[in-house]
Amino acid sequence: MSVTEHDRTAAGSETAWDTALAQLDEVAEMMGLAPGVHEILRSPKRALIVSVPFRMDDGSTRVYEGYRVHHNVTRGPAKGGIRYHPDVGLDEVKALAMWMTWKCAIAGIPFGGAKGGIAVDPRQHSRSELERMTRRFASEILPLIGPERDIPAPDMNTDEEIMSWIMDTYSMNSGYSVPGVVTGKPVAIGGSRGRSGATSRGVMYMVFAMMRSLGLGIEEISVAIQGYGKVGGFLAQLLHDAGCRVVAISDVEGGLYRERGLDPEAINRHKREAGTVVGAPDCDAITNAELLELDCDVLIPAAVEGVITVKNADRVRARVICEAANGPITFEADKILNERGVYVVPDILANSGGVTVSYFEWVQDIQAYFWSEEEVNDRLRMIMERAFDDVSSFAEEKNLTLRQAAQWIGVGRVSEAHLTRGLFP
């Protein structure tokens, strides 16, 4: 069987792993990737499935399943987030780890791709239960993690507090403090200034770069953001402050629309009181599905993967889609959007701000020398803009989409590292 053939689900739906493999297979054929390297890159280097038992507040025991996947470590230690969500599974984590490999290579960061998580709804647990669960999970993945091996970071439903528990668990087992084992942790224990909003800020830089390439001013554009969590919420504020008209936002409960623009500060106040953006005053209610189909200049999916598929791609009216989430557009939907002339700034380029500042944090921890927030933001902007210029120039040179160009660059750099190092033994 050809390496470009891979299984699809019986129903014909496209999973995140299907999308990741299809993207790799397409660019491997286009660039004439060596078959041996192609085979290596199609499979994660290692995948660990662990049982995570922990004690509940009432004294009973609960057990969840956890995962940690290293896709590739040829260019450096594995790097990737840890997410807590009921739908976390091995195939999803494998896809996210693969995308992280390309993301690091495109940004020029000396890391490989990793990802991890627990299949859990964190809303169903107290803070003390989450701490015991996190520490047990950290102890189960200890053989894989470490500042020279694998450096986790926050992802969906995890935060700097959870990173501090992982760092402390690792340090207790080492016998001394090891701040470099995770990134995205509090500044008090070796975190970096500017890390918490880095993904949002990086997406903003990508939106600005894309608008400049299309000859549009920032004040001229309307933006819709699906997902109002750590990334989407801060991004809405950044874009609003920069002069963009943010016309729609949403969270898991539903969304809001206001043609003349929303006020993120007012929405944040409402969300703190109500726990959701739904019901904020002076706004029209819309669904998440309706938000994706709004007539706007820029659509930013910032929630979960697979929200734009063959079922709704032909109804997307945005001129530009900037992927703040990982894998929000399926492989087949991407083709439909390209045929319709929709510009897509791919996730492996657009949302790499988080891993870029995670790299800065890791460097600062190793050197025990820390930078100002201004230095962090300036260096982030430089790397993001350089990556966009590399990808857009290559896309124009080869007549590719931005995703194909980004994949080509990322896969090419990892492939070069493999061929340079050779195959052991």
User: Hey, what domains does the chain have and what are their CATH numbers?
Assistant: 44-187 (3.40.50.10860), 198-350 (3.40.50.720)
Above 90 in pLDDT, residue 1? no
Give the separation between CA 325 and CA 307, rounded to whole angstroms: 10
> Do residues 75 and 413 lie in contact, with contact meaning Cβ atoms separated by under 8 Å?
yes
Is 398 an annotated catalytic residue? Answer: no
The tens digit of pLDDT for each residue in 15-60 reads 899 999 999 999 999 999 999 999 999 999 999 999 999 999 999 9
Q: What is the mean pLDDT of the chain?
A: 94
Above 50 in pLDDT, residue 2? no
| pLDDT at residue 5, as a whole number | 36
Above 80 in pLDDT, residue 94? yes
State the Cα angle at 231 between 226 and 234, rounded to 5°.
100
| pLDDT at residue 304, as a whole number | 85
| pLDDT at residue 231, as a whole number | 93
Interacting residues of 320 by C-beta distance below 8 A, sequence separation 6+: 207, 210, 211, 214, 297, 298, 299, 342, 343, 344, 345
State the Cα angle at 73 between 68 and 76, rounded to 5°.
120
Interacting residues of 10 by C-beta distance below 8 A, sequence separation 6+: none
| pLDDT at residue 310, as a whole number | 94
Give the separation between CA 340 and CA 247, rounded to whole angstroms: 23
The tens digit of pLDDT for each residue in 222-272 reads 999 999 988 999 999 999 999 999 999 999 899 999 999 999 999 999 999
| pLDDT at residue 7, as a whole number | 37
Give the separation between CA 192 and CA 362, rounded to whole angstroms: 9
Give the separation between CA 323 and CA 351, rounded to whole angstroms: 7
The tens digit of pLDDT for each residue in 308-367 reads 999 999 999 999 999 999 999 999 999 999 999 999 999 999 999 999 999 999 999 999
Residue % of the chain over a pLDDT of 70: 97
Interacting residues of 310 by C-beta distance below 8 A, sequence separation 6+: 330, 332, 333, 336
- From the candidates 103, 115, 185, 271, which is the catalytic residue? 115
Above 90 in pLDDT, residue 14? no
Angle of helix 353-367 versus helix 373-398 axis, rounded to 10: 130
Residue % of the chain over a pLDDT of 90: 92
The tens digit of pLDDT for each residue in 121-152 reads 999 999 999 999 999 999 999 999 999 999 99
> Scanning the structure block, which residue is given the tokens 């107290």?
126
| pLDDT at residue 18, as a whole number | 93
> Do residues 395 and 17 lie in contact, with contact meaning Cβ atoms separated by under 8 Å?
no
| pLDDT at residue 219, as a whole number | 85
Task: Return the bridge partners of 35, or none.
Answer: none
| pLDDT at residue 218, as a whole number | 86
Interacting residues of 34 by C-beta distance below 8 A, sequence separation 6+: 415, 419
| pLDDT at residue 4, as a whole number | 38
| pLDDT at residue 137, as a whole number | 98
**pTM exceeds 0.95 for this model:** no
